[in-house]
Chains A and B, each alone.
Chain A
Amino acid sequence: MFEPIKVSLESLNLVTLAPMLIAIAGGLVILILDLINSKLHKSLYVMLTILILIVDFGATIGLNVNERGFFDVMLIDGISIISQLLIIVASILFTPLALTSKRFHEYSYPEFFALFLFMVAGFQFMVASDNLILIFVGLETASLSLYTLIALHNRSNSYEAAVKYFTMGALAAGFFAMGSAVVYGLTGSIELYQVAQVLSVRMGETGIMAAILGSSVLLMVTLAFKLSLFPFHTWAPDVYEGASAPLAGYMAIVPKIAAFVVAIRIFGMYIDLGIEWVRIMILILAIVTMTLANVMALVQEDVKRMLAYSSISHAGFIMAAIALDTTEGTTSIFLYYALFMFTNLGAFAMLWISRHKVRRFDKRYDHPYSKFSGLVQIMPMGAVIMALFMLSLAGVPPFSVFWGKIYVMQAAVNAGYVWLAIVMGLNSAIAAYYYLKLIVYMFLKDPVKDMDTVYYNLSKPLMVVIGLAATATIAAIFYVQPLVSYLYYMISASGY
């Protein structure tokens, strides 16, 4: 006879699960609504999704710092709360874009929104745990939903993108499982805090380094894939190109925030244990990623691919902050993404303002530079806003990304890595070239004349989202202070 499992509800601390449960329940509600009446308009689903995300946001912000729950697998520390908040805010910003275009049928399926909410829940699980299995489950839930969302775009290159992403993602998942298995074999635990304890006792043992090397390399491959770090970045431009523009912008932010949190938890632990080569490995990956992606972005002929490479480069930039392993370094990661989020999503959404039934400008690309030539004469406000986003991405003050950049660089200088700050500075200078190229096309060239009428997608939701993103980009100087102090407080409270 088995003893009945007796667990008091109190000790489960179910409130830690509330945010994810809200998102999942919301997704189910959407599916049920569709079951009852399949004629409902997508605007209903969009608004429902936003409402659910707002409730989710409320539930997350109300969590207490440094709690564990649900058999201790949930870990609600500072970084888990702020990363969940960032994920939800980015999702709220993304959702109204579904209303913008009639031409995209994928948004009229309720499944899109259900999957979207499941994905958000998956990412939230991923960041709110230090249990390798739960991280894995969250990662897979989110990724599988995301693959489907890409494929729903229903064009041949979306299938290509989804399948590419799926196969590569499956490979990465395999590596994650193997890496976790090595960690388990090494320490008998999959809870990172116990792993750290066991390892710190056994650090002196011979041969332990080889095992740690095995596990950290395997886990690094997974995260490098998710963060699109060199040499695992090759999928990113194709997938972004295949996905619809705002979804590509979304993919450049939210999955990466989640993966960064996991990377901070795992590699921060290794660096704390004094394993110096993990730091060196991260630094090399980061520098190669930002430089190489920048060089690749220079030669792109398509704006969307350029933005894809640019977001890879930004990810490399941020990856370097993990190697610093200081409170400032970790703060800078979240600050950077909080600021980068608006600009990047805005820039990707701007790609959407003009859509064509057929590729007018170029046989191969959807958004070649020539599509934007002379935009200032056709659509002055649009050109100015896009230029703002580009200047912000290039790191021109006082726009948002500049403050993120300067904070990362300051963190690097403070940690004694002045050379790293110089490398970052030079990389920003290289990057300025390709952002400038778009500005040159928009402002200094004449429009391509022999094109038939261009269809502009100037729906209100798109303008609202872009307006929000532009405001957040310009006014960054006024909210950086509260943001930094909040992030810093949360991160130092959870001991990173």
Chain B
Amino acid sequence: MDNILSVLIFFPAIAGLLGFVVDKKSARAYGITVAAIEFLLSLWLWFSFDTGNAGMQFVEMIPLIPDFGVNYYLGVDGISLFIILMTTLMTLIGMVSMSIEKDVKNMIITLLFLEMTMVGVFVALDAIVFYLFWELSLVPMLYIIGAWGGPLRVYAAVKFFLYTFMGSLVMLVGMLFVAYVYHSLTGVWSFAITDWYALVLPVNYQLWLFAAFFLGFAIKVPMFPFHTWLPYAHGQAPTIGSVILAAVLLKMGTYGFVRFSLPMFPDASVMMITPIAVLAIIMIIYTAMVAYAQKDMKQVIAYSSVSHMGIIMIGIFAMNAEGIGGSVFQMLSHGIVSGALFMLVGIIYDRRHTKLMSEFGGLASVMPKYAVIFGIMLMASVGLPLTIGFVGEFLVLLGFYEISPVMTVLAGTSIIIGAVYMLSVYKKSFFGPVTKEENKTLKDLTPRETWSLIPLVAIVVWLGVYPKPVLDPINKSVNAMLVFMEEKAITAEAKDIIKVPQSATTAGEVK
């Protein structure tokens, strides 16, 4: 099936449209089935993916507006493949574990449309198509936060929308400018990213364009000064909203850096290593400290999620195979672990209707299964060896060590501070005597909750012990990208910093 990517994008959307007809009571089963089929389709994509090929695969190209250079242009490489898999997996698991009773049908339909936009972002190879899905993803999320959220939901939803919308409009101007430069050099209009890769831009253009794209991506990540929308969004969003937001939507930002900023502006990226690393380290340490100060369990997870996004950012700007490969891996690990943690918080919230840690205590004796799974996810989040969190974090730090040992050490404190706040959450909530009367009768995980979490636990352990099947394709594409960035870089400084692994010279080239 050559057009599997189109199928992956439009299957959930068509299912969403047809979902309007499905009866309210069956909507949930319908949604889970559709999401499961979508996940199987994405597994099929993985199995038919040629892991020996570093370039774009399953490429589809249909001209949409040829006069303007806009094509429906899709493709997948090692970098995006696993993010797509994670997207479909987290949507499926999120839907299975969803505990929402109100307007389930609307929620299912919204989630299916959201899935379309998320998959679309990660497979788009045309900047306009990318932008289209990128912007469109805001609408379902706005609705999810705004309709099912907490008391401040409207404020949080609108803030989320406007913040991201503003950043991406500046990015759009950047895209238009790249297209203009491409047109003036080649005489052809094109928004294809692979065409843009071939452009060698002067350094001052690169810097301005880097800034324009940075604004769009950094707000989404969210980088340190632009992160203020996220605690609101997480605080007000329903569990499913937080899961999708943390697991997938934030990855769009970091994916954008890998897909656009690095290969298109290698010199500017190298010049911006230090400022971005400084921002990322502030983000890591500052949000970790804020996380420690929280009383609300969900806010702890939210801030820890921002803190870990800082690790991903640092890895991307390590400019070597370990760093970028580790970052992409860390995106997956962050998606699975923070998604699972939000689900776990949601589970206790459903039972007690509070997320304050002071309300809990001694949960381990009342809810042993819950405590075990929470513990595993917590370890993965902290980055304990043999869990999925360790692999990515280790590779990132290893990669960035070549840029700056001092900053690596600072970034490495994230593991320590992370352990501090995470373990304190665990201590306050799970250990000690059961102090509150209500907690004594809490039910442990229901089968549905258990079975939605078990696969995640399995992945956390599996990829923690044996990450090779995932890391290999990622590294292959990352190496190819690095070779190509090194060739394209015009300043000696950039050529010096971008490290091309020896083995990569035979790894093929990005088309």
- Whether the Cβ atoms of A410 and B179 lie closer than 8 Å is yes
| Measured CA separation A400–B496 after assembly (Å) | 46
Residues 408-431 of chain A, each 1 if its beta carbon lies under 8 Å from chain B, else 0:
011001100010011001101100
- Whether the Cβ atoms of A432 and B161 lie closer than 8 Å is yes
Given contacts A396-B139, A443-B146, contact A407 B68 (CB under 8 A): yes
- Whether the Cβ atoms of B158 and A436 lie closer than 8 Å is yes
Interface members, chain A 441-496 (any B CB < 8 Å): 443-445, 477, 480-481, 484-485, 488
- Whether the Cβ atoms of B136 and A398 lie closer than 8 Å is yes
**A interface secondary structure, majority:** helix
How many A residues touch B, CB cutoff 8 Å? 34
Given contacts A396-B135, A443-B147, contact A425 B64 (CB under 8 A): no
| Measured CA separation A407–B170 after assembly (Å) | 15
Q: Choose from B64, B138, B161, B177 the contact partner of A477 (Cβ within 8 Å).
A: B64
- Whether the Cβ atoms of B173 and A432 lie closer than 8 Å is no
Given contacts A391-B139, A481-B65, contact A425 B161 (CB under 8 A): no
Q: Choose from B66, B135, B139, B180 the contact partner of A410 (Cβ within 8 Å).
A: B180
| Measured CA separation A398–B130 after assembly (Å) | 11
| Chain B: CB-nearest residue to A479 | B65
- Whether the Cβ atoms of A485 and B67 lie closer than 8 Å is yes
Nearest Cβ in chain A — how far from B280, in angstroms?
26
| Measured CA separation A394–B162 after assembly (Å) | 11
Interface centre among A407, A425, A439 (most CB of B within 10 A): A425
Nearest Cβ in chain B — how far from A413, in angstroms?
5
Q: Judge whether B27 is part of the interface by a CB distance below 8 angstroms.
A: no
Given contacts A440-B154, A480-B65, contact A425 B173 (CB under 8 A): yes
- Whether the Cβ atoms of B177 and A440 lie closer than 8 Å is no
| Measured CA separation A440–B63 after assembly (Å) | 36
Residues of A within 8 A of B161 (CB): 432, 436
- Whether the Cβ atoms of A425 and B67 lie closer than 8 Å is no
Residues of A within 8 A of B273 (CB): none
| Measured CA separation A394–B138 after assembly (Å) | 13
Residues of A within 8 A of B135 (CB): 396-397
Interface members, chain A 167-194 (any B CB < 8 Å): none
- Whether the Cβ atoms of A426 and B146 lie closer than 8 Å is no
Residues 63-75 of chain B, each 1 if its beta carbon lies under 8 Å from chain A, else 0:
1111110000000
Residues of A within 8 A of B290 (CB): none
Q: Choose from A395, A443, A445, A484 the contact partner of B68 (Cβ within 8 Å).
A: A484
Q: Judge whether A235 is part of the interface by a CB distance below 8 angstroms.
A: no
Q: Choose from A395, A406, A426, A444 the contact partner of B128 (Cβ within 8 Å).
A: A406
Q: Judge whether B272 is part of the interface by a CB distance below 8 angstroms.
A: no
| Chain A: CB-nearest residue to B133 | A397
Residues of A within 8 A of B138 (CB): 396
| Measured CA separation A266–B435 after assembly (Å) | 81
Q: Judge whether B165 is part of the interface by a CB distance below 8 angstroms.
A: yes
Interface centre among B65, B132, B138, B153 (most CB of A within 10 A): B65
Nearest Cβ in chain B — how far from A327, in angstroms?
12
Interface members, chain B 148-166 (any A CB < 8 Å): 153-154, 157-158, 161-162, 165-166
Residues 224-241 of chain A, each 1 if its beta carbon lies under 8 Å from chain B, else 0:
000000000000000000
Nearest Cβ in chain A — how far from B475, in angstroms?
34
- Whether the Cβ atoms of B170 and A440 lie closer than 8 Å is no
Q: Judge whether A433 is part of the interface by a CB distance below 8 angstroms.
A: yes
Residues of B within 8 A of A480 (CB): 64-65, 68
Residues of A within 8 A of B64 (CB): 477, 480-481
Q: Judge whether B131 is part of the interface by a CB distance below 8 angstroms.
A: yes
| Chain A: CB-nearest residue to B173 | A421
- Whether the Cβ atoms of B67 and A432 lie closer than 8 Å is no
Interface members, chain B 172-222 (any A CB < 8 Å): 172-173, 176-177, 179-180, 183
Q: Choose from B68, B162, B172, B179 the contact partner of A433 (Cβ within 8 Å).
A: B162
| Chain A: CB-nearest residue to B212 | A422
Q: Judge whether B143 is part of the interface by a CB distance below 8 angstroms.
A: yes
| Chain B: CB-nearest residue to A377 | B103
Q: Choose from B136, B162, B170 the contact partner of A432 (Cβ within 8 Å).
A: B162
| Measured CA separation A399–B139 after assembly (Å) | 13
- Whether the Cβ atoms of A409 and B180 lie closer than 8 Å is no
- Whether the Cβ atoms of A433 and B158 lie closer than 8 Å is yes
Q: Judge whether B104 is part of the interface by a CB distance below 8 angstroms.
A: no
- Whether the Cβ atoms of A421 and B136 lie closer than 8 Å is no
| Measured CA separation A204–B139 after assembly (Å) | 57
Residues of B within 8 A of A391 (CB): 139
- Whether the Cβ atoms of B66 and A444 lie closer than 8 Å is no
Between A and B, 25 residue pairs with Cβ closer than 8 Å are A395-B169, A396-B138, A397-B128, A397-B132, A398-B136, A406-B176, A407-B68, A409-B172, A413-B173, A413-B177, A414-B180, A418-B173, A421-B177, A425-B170, A426-B169, A426-B170, A432-B161, A436-B142, A439-B142, A440-B158, A443-B147, A444-B147, A444-B157, A445-B154, A484-B65
Residue numbers of B with Cβ under 8 A of A are: 63-68, 128, 131-132, 135-136, 138-139, 142-143, 146-147, 153-154, 157-158, 161-162, 165-166, 169-170, 172-173, 176-177, 179-180, 183
Q: What are the 4 A-B residue pairs with the smallest beta carbon separation, nearest first? A: A425-B169, A429-B166, A397-B132, A444-B146
Known contacts A429-B165, A484-B68; 4 further A-B pairs (Cβ under 8 A): A406-B172, A413-B173, A413-B176, A444-B154
